[in-house]
């Protein structure tokens, strides 16, 4: 499985190979406007790609991964060593700094040392998850190898800190878009949210432009069916892909439930 450089809600690491198998054999530019942890970008490593997210610190981090992997690794090492020496106060001091300045260097550190790696922001965009006291965080040497590996995979990617409409505005016939938006039933667990009706208009626009898309969306968790009734004229295929067990149920309710996520394709 892909080793994450940054953990993000809704990661597609466990599904990336299966989703990749549905991609067209040939296409022009690859677009991913809800980038998050970038598992699909890594799995595909396209010759040309445009990827975005509305979380600017996240995109700033991706730019550093692409442009300055060694500097980024050193910054994590410095913060990690500080945590080992000073203890929990270092974590909360760095979290306060992030909430003031939105530094991507601080974000990387927080993402690898917070509780269960679950990145959470409040309504003000402030990072609000706590330190994972029983774990020291990923070791700097290990993370450095991962950062450099990812950097090699994203050299041909343009990153944009903007919404999905803007990120994919230049997509044309022959291009492909992978969509992994905040899910309909779990809006409070993601950075930002989307207007569902506007999103349906967006899918219609992609169809009108002849742009192929793959959409990951709500599916089935345990005995509960969260599948969204997307108008059938907007897609041609709907698949349910296994994605492991529910992280939130595991953490919050100490339960294990199998999860299957939807994949819609317009070709």
What is 10-75 written as a DSSP string?
T--TTTHHHHHTTS-SS-S-EEESS-TT-HHHHHH--SSEEEE-S-HHHHHHHHHHHH-HHHHHHH
Give the whole-angstrom CA distance, residue 2 versus residue 64.
Answer: 20
Q: Exposed (0-12), middle (13-18) or buried (19+): which is 167, by Cβ within 10 Å?
A: buried
Give the whole-angstrom CA distance, residue 251 versus residue 266.
Answer: 35
Residue 151: what pLDDT?
Answer: 98
Residue 252: what pLDDT?
Answer: 57
Give the whole-angstrom CA distance, residue 26 versus residue 39.
Answer: 20
Which runs of E-coded beta strand occur in the chain? 30-32, 49-52, 157-160, 176-179, 212-221, 224-225, 237-245, 258-265
Which residues, in sequence order, are bridge partners of residue 114?
131
Which runs of E-coded beta strand occur in 75-191? 157-160, 176-179
- In the chain, CATH 3.40.50.150 sits at 16-54+162-265
Residue 189: what pLDDT?
Answer: 45
Among 2.40.40.20, 3.40.50.150, 3.40.50.1980, 3.40.50.300, name the CATH number for the domain at 16-54+162-265: 3.40.50.150
Residue 185: what pLDDT?
Answer: 64
Does 1.10.1020.10 match the CATH number of domain 68-152?
Answer: yes
Helices 140-153 and 56-67: crossing angle in degrees, nearest 10, is: 90
- In the chain, CATH 1.10.1020.10 sits at 68-152
Residue 192: what pLDDT?
Answer: 59
Enter the pTM of the model: 0.90
Longest alpha-carbon distance in the chain: 58
222: its two tokens? 């345990």
Cα-Cα-Cα-Cα dihedral sign, residues 166, 170, 173, 176: negative
Give the whole-angstrom CA distance, residue 89 versus residue 197.
Answer: 44
Give the whole-angstrom CA distance, residue 180 versus residue 23.
Answer: 15
Give the whole-angstrom CA distance, residue 187 versus residue 2.
Answer: 26
Q: Tens digit of pLDDT per residue, the chain (267 long)?
A: 789 999 888 889 889 999 999 999 999 999 999 999 999 999 999 999 999 999 999 999 999 999 999 999 999 999 999 999 999 999 999 999 999 999 999 999 999 999 988 899 998 889 999 999 998 899 999 999 999 999 999 999 999 999 999 999 999 999 999 999 988 765 544 455 789 999 999 999 999 999 999 999 999 988 889 999 899 999 999 999 988 776 555 555 566 788 899 999 999
């Amino acid at each position: 499985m892909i080793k994450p450089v940054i953990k993000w809600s809704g990661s597609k690491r466990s599904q990336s190979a299966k989703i990749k198998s549905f991609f067209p054999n040939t296409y022009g530019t690859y677009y991913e406007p809800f980038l998050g942890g970038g598992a699909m970008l890594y799995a595909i490593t396209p010759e040309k790609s445009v990827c975005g997210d509305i979380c600017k610190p996240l995109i700033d981090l991706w730019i550093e991964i692409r442009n300055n992997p060694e500097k980024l690794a050193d910054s994590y090492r410095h913060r990690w060593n500080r945590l080992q020496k000073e203890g929990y106060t270092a974590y909360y001091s760095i979290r306060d700094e992030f909430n003031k300045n939105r530094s991507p260097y601080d974000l990387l550190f927080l993402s690898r040392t917070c509780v269960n790696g679950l990145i959470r922001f409040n309504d003000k965009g402030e990072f609000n998850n706590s330190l994972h006291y029983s774990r020291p965080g990923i070791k700097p040497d290990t993370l450095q190898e991962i950062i450099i590996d990812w950097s090699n995979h994203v050299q041909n990617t343009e990153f944009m800190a903007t919404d999905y409409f803007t990120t994919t505005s230049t997509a044309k016939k022959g291009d492909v878009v992978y969509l992994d938006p905040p899910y309909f039933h779990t809006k409070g667990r993601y950075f930002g949210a989307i207007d569902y009706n506007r999103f349906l208009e967006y899918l219609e626009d992609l169809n009108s432009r002849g742009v192929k898309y793959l959409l990951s969306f709500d599916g089935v968790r345990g005995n509960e069916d969260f599948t969204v009734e997307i108008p059938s004229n907007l897609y041609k295929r709907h698949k349910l892909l296994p994605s492991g067990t529910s992280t939130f149920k595991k953490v919050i309710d100490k339960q294990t439930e199998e999860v299957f996520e939807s994949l819609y394709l317009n070709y």
